[in-house]
Amino acid sequence: MDIIRFNDFEHLSWVYKNYDKGVVRANSYLDYLKLMYRALASNYRCEYVYKNEIIKELLAKYGTKGTTVFNEFKVGNSIADIAFFNGESKAFEIKTDLDSPKRLGKQIADYQKVFDKCYIVIPNDKYEQYCDVVAPEIGIITLSKIGRSINLEEKRAATKNDAIDVDVLINILRTDEYKRLIIEECGYLPSVPGYNMYAACRELMYGIPTSKLKSFFRDTVKERKNNTALLKNAPPELRQLCLSLGLDKRGIEILLLRLNAQIN
């Protein structure tokens, strides 16, 4: 953000000078970031690499038509690493070589309260270990390094979940969103003081069919402001960065223009 807002490369220049000058050849800051990403993908596949590869796969498989992706989507007391919304809602929990399955059961249980399908994304060599940990309805995607490429493979398909938890859903929805749901399904808003509106709407939501709550959740979250359609304009190595920062078209253009400057 310092680069975008102030054209300030101080930190990135310091990293290059102290760690990589004379070691790697990079003509521009963008070249340097691409080299760093390649090093991470080869030697230290952290969560950023997993998220970035999932987004790359999304754009390759679906393009951007009709699909919206969110970074770190809060559900109950957990946060899904990546969430997809198209004809279905999908939550992805990432467990890298640096993680353990310790909290996985609680995280997945939270995601199943609203999402149609849930997946875990894990290192390829951990497949057998996680098969014994997660329920059979949870999909498993593995990540492996093949030559200079990263490969994502769906080893086990997720089973669709038809349930939804009203208490979790209403806390995901914004106030104007759950009010709109009540008006659409009930034809009115409760005649209560503002401070009682949440509780009154929550009570009415229990009478709405599950299928309608599920479709409202998918369609409403998908309509929220998001930059998924713009990610194809960013270099593959920086798409997760652009998503997490919520950069608009102008922000991405400024970032790329400045990153193409020669390293100083």
What is the token pair recorded at 80?
Answer: 């899904």
Closest CA to 60 of 231, 241, 247: 231
- Please tell me the distance from the alpha carbon of residue 190 to that of residue 201, in angstroms, as a whole number: 7
pTM score over 0.85: yes
68 has which bridge partners?
A: 85
What is the token pair recorded at 210?
Answer: 């599950």
Domain architecture of the chain: domains with CATH: 1-44+247-264 (no CATH), 45-161 (3.40.1350), 166-222 (no CATH)
Q: What is the pLDDT of residue 22?
A: 86
Q: What is the pLDDT of residue 135?
A: 93
What is the token pair recorded at 164?
Answer: 């939804």
Asked whether 114 and 75 are in contact (CB, 8 A), the reply is yes
What type of residue sits at position 260? N
- 175-186 vs 210-222: helix crossing angle, rounded to 10: 140
Residues in the chain: 264
Asked whether 246 and 227 are in contact (CB, 8 A), the reply is yes
Q: What is the pLDDT of residue 62?
A: 61
Closest CA to 73 of 142, 173, 180: 173
- Please tell me the distance from the alpha carbon of residue 81 to that of residue 256, in angstroms, as a whole number: 26
pLDDT tens, N- to C-terminus, the chain (264 residues): 999 999 999 999 999 999 998 888 899 999 999 999 999 999 999 999 999 999 988 777 765 677 899 999 999 999 999 999 988 999 999 999 988 888 899 999 999 999 999 999 999 999 999 998 899 999 999 999 888 788 999 999 999 999 999 999 999 999 999 999 999 999 999 999 999 999 999 999 999 999 999 999 999 999 998 899 899 999 999 999 999 999 999 999 999 999 999 987
